[in-house]
Structure 1
Amino acid sequence: MERCGWAGDDPLYHAYHDDEWGVPEFDSRALWEKLILEGYQAGLSWITILRKRDSFREAFQGFDPNVIATWGAAEVEELLQNPGIVRHRGKVEATITNARVWQGIEAKEGFARYLWSYVDYSPIQTDWSALSQVPAQTEISQAISKDLKKKGFKFCGPTITYAFMQAAGLVNDHLTTCPCHKPVAEMGQKSASV
């Protein structure tokens, strides 16, 4: 069995694929971080984001949305000078906006509960055997994207949202030929703790 072809040859990519991607995540803050990083990936390769992830975590105070929600223009300008992250004004400003949106969802129902409700609190299990079968977006990612945008979230189109769903384990899109498919599927059979 071979790991999913998108993981390429980079050891960092292999570790991410083998240990993180598709593993069901139920922590609200961690889910928010994954969604934010998927937004930064728009127009770039995921390996670029992985290589900068530690710098992102440092620059964004461990991706604590309660801290980031208090930021303003001064923090934006400081971040735009940081070569360790993706310096895109729109994405940096959106991160602050998205932290505030996260606070609202978290206070009302819990960000994790909100997201997992779209898949009935259990990961969708797929049986793709080729990368060409894996969709770029689905009706569920379109629905999540639409609702997040309605709430004020930025950089969360349906393709970004589907990539997030894959990364956060809301859907198991490891190929059936990948050694991670079965273990991730078994993780999904355990009850969600949201």
Structure 2
Amino acid sequence: MQKFTQLHAVPAPLDLANVDTDMVISAQYMKGLTRTGMGQHLFKLLRYTADGRERGDFILNHPICRKAQILIADRNFGCGSSREHAVWALTDYGFRCIIAPSFGDIFSNNARKNGLLLIRLPTATCDHLREFAGQSQYAPMTVDLIAQTIHLSSGEIIDFQIDDVDRHNLVHGLDDIARTLRHADALEAFEARA
């Protein structure tokens, strides 16, 4: 898993509440077992018309936001069915961080396991961040996981808190397998005794 310490990137404001995992990636695109290639299907029904043309009013079709790595969402992002593919689609597209007032529980667990930083902030703060992103012409912002701060181009600094264990794992790039492999010697010794 890629380490996450600090990210300086373009934010994309998504002013939609209750974005479920089917909106993130439709079930028809979940046939693959690898994480690569999923990004092309991210928000497909929102990004494209039925005949495949880009929707000009969708934020990820904005020229600057095509390379966004920070998504500023609204409440209950990632609700709905259990879909690790939703996290795979977001990370394959290039997102490293999602900021929202709340997240679906299963989505949160999948994000944690795949190195996607989720930051929970009050609704008013998320509204402010989405508005500021548009007003600043999507100027890059900096998410500092070590300091647990978000730095805006205006100089404003917003503090956030995440679970200490999640923070440690993200900073050190430790997924479930990597954490287990840190105990390889003890596991081998146990197997030898069995």
User: TM above 0.5, one fold?
Assistant: no
Higher helix fraction (1 or 2): 1
Name which one, 1 or 2, has greater alpha-carbon Rg.
2
Between Structure 1 and Structure 2, the one with more strand by share is 2
Q: What's the TM-score once normalised by structure 1's chain length?
A: 0.28
